[in-house]
Amino acid sequence: MLTAEENAQLTRVGPGTLMGELMRQYWIPVVQSSELAAGGRPKRVRILGEDLIAYRNPGGRTAVCSEFCAHRRASLYFARNEERGLRCVYHGWQYGVDGGCIDMPNERPESSFQDKVTLPTYPCAERGGVVWTYMGPASPPPGLPDLEWALVPEAQRFVSKFWQGCNYLQALEGGVDPAHISFLHGVLNARDEEARRILDSAAAGFGFASQLERAPHIEVADTPTGLLLGARREAPAGQYYWRITQYLLPFHTMPPPEVGDDPLMHAHVWIPMDDDQLVNWCISWHPTRAITREEIAEFHAGSSIHVTAYAPASSDAYGDIRPAAHRANDYLADWEAQRTRKFFGVPGVGAQDKAITESQGVFDRSLERLGRADLGIIRVRKRLLDAATALRTQRVAPPGLDPAGYRVRPASVLLAKEMPWVEGAKDRLVVR
Ligand code: FES
Ligand SMILES: [Fe+2]
């Protein structure tokens, strides 16, 4: 449980807020590289309460800047993407990718006014097929995070994203909540073979063990960049089955993969658009091999974290990634399946997560009743608040500004009962 004040501090992300200031210390995914064609139309994006556009100039450089022209705030969504810069269609002011005003054709040629005008613009970089931006104060910005999914060859990763109509924190909390897997993504009767076969979560590698033992023992350990969340279940031959989630400040999570030597990995990046909406980035990758066609077909079928069935697109910020399953159509729930087989009738793991976290509404954490199973959530909130408070009051650099701190993986391992879990899993938790 949090006080109402802590709740507000954790969930508000606009300019000048405590959490908004923390999040602006980190690189933020904006769009996929493939969404911006050289010389193509800008896209509206909204990040941390700011209306922005992203575009790629004819020379191939990407830019993220204010949506609104510095002159009289016409939308640059309609701008002309010209060789030398982006030109507002209202009076023709033109801006370079760094935001400098380079032409002001409605002023007399002898005017030097354009030298005094800039368009608010954020540094931009591409890695892992994603355009990232940095909205913070450091100049130069820190290095891009060395996330394995962003560094493997393109064929070894699959990236999708979808819009969610709730505050980022409740969505992220689902990503550090190992206890919900057995319910929200589970079947009614774990010994029902047919139900197991159709289980949505099978493709995401959530593991059958989670269906049999629904109240795992949960432990949490600090890491330099975030937290490890271990969910422990009984296993044969004097062992425990440990499913270990990575949380990396401020908005990255990696759920545990299927058990085995060579599993597919998954990750989320939970990016607040503002206090009431987020973009849920979903990534699957393999450290050493290409993603197969069959796996990609499963991702598109919605039987994993990915949701790629979208409603008709609009040109609003992230208006092209609104899932077809939404609140007003009950997220396409199959109520008969919910009555007879599945714990929750909404099809697809990603859609289940979206449905249930949106259902929490504008979430007042002073009204919750947290149990031992919520330990991961408690610790993530504390880590965020501690980092944000230390930054605000003592100017302490938050964890995670070192790119190497992101070279980690989640893991699912069988360990002898006497083996401490962090020690026993440590080789699997790092990227070499
Ligand atoms: S509003 Fe953009 S040039 Fe006038
Ligand atoms: Fe989930």
Residue 284 sits in a domain whose CATH number is 3.90.380.10
Residue that the structure tokens 């009555």 belong to: 339
76 Cα nearest atom in ligand 1? 2
Interior/surface letters 246-264, b for 16+ CB within 10 angstroms, e for the rest: bbbbbbbbbbbbbbeeebb
Kindly state whether residues 216 and 357 are assigned to the same domain. Answer: yes
Kindly state whether residues 232 and 342 are assigned to the same domain. Answer: yes
Kindly state whether residues 255 and 324 are assigned to the same domain. Answer: yes
* Nearest ligand atom owner, CA of 349: 2
Per-residue model confidence (pLDDT) at position 312: 98
Kindly state whether residues 104 and 52 are assigned to the same domain. Answer: yes
Per-residue model confidence (pLDDT) at position 200: 47
Interior/surface letters 214-243, b for 16+ CB within 10 angstroms, e for the rest: eebebbbeebebbbbbbbbbebeeeebbbb
Q: Which residues pair with 231 in a beta bridge?
A: 218, 243
Task: Report how far residue 337's alpha carbon sits from residue 153's, in angstroms, rounded to the nearest whole number.
Answer: 40
Quote the pTM value.
Answer: 0.95
Kindly state whether residues 337 and 267 are assigned to the same domain. Answer: yes
Question: Going by CA atoms, what residue is nearest to atom 3 of ligand 1?
Answer: 91
The DSSP output letter for 316 is S
> What separation in Å is there between the alpha carbon of 232 and the centre of ligand 1?
59
Domain of residue 97: give its range: 27-134
Residues in the chain with pLDDT values less than 50: 200-206
* Nearest ligand atom owner, CA of 305: 2
Per-residue model confidence (pLDDT) at position 205: 45
Per-residue model confidence (pLDDT) at position 259: 76
> What separation in Å is there between the alpha carbon of 197 and the centre of ligand 2?
18
Kindly state whether residues 119 and 158 are assigned to the same domain. Answer: no
> What separation in Å is there between the alpha carbon of 68 and the centre of ligand 1?
9
Per-residue model confidence (pLDDT) at position 302: 85
Q: How many domains does the chain have?
A: 2
Pocket flag, ligand 1, residue 117 (CB < 6 Å): no
Peptide bond between residue 140 and the one before it cis (omega within 30 degrees of 0): yes
Question: Going by CA atoms, what residue is nearest to atom 4 of ligand 1?
Answer: 91
Kindly state whether residues 90 and 177 are assigned to the same domain. Answer: no
Pocket flag, ligand 1, residue 80 (CB < 6 Å): no
> What separation in Å is there between the alpha carbon of 322 and the centre of ligand 1?
31
- Using an 8 Å Cβ cutoff, are 10 and 364 in contact? no
Kindly state whether residues 43 and 190 are assigned to the same domain. Answer: no
Task: Report how far residue 146's alpha carbon sits from residue 403's, in angstroms, rounded to the nearest whole number.
Answer: 5
Q: Is residue 284 part of a domain?
A: yes
Q: Is residue 22 part of a domain?
A: no
CATH number, position 69: 2.102.10.10
Pocket flag, ligand 1, residue 72 (CB < 6 Å): yes
Q: Is residue 56 part of a domain?
A: yes
Q: What sign has the CA pseudo-torsion 187, 188, 190, 191?
A: negative
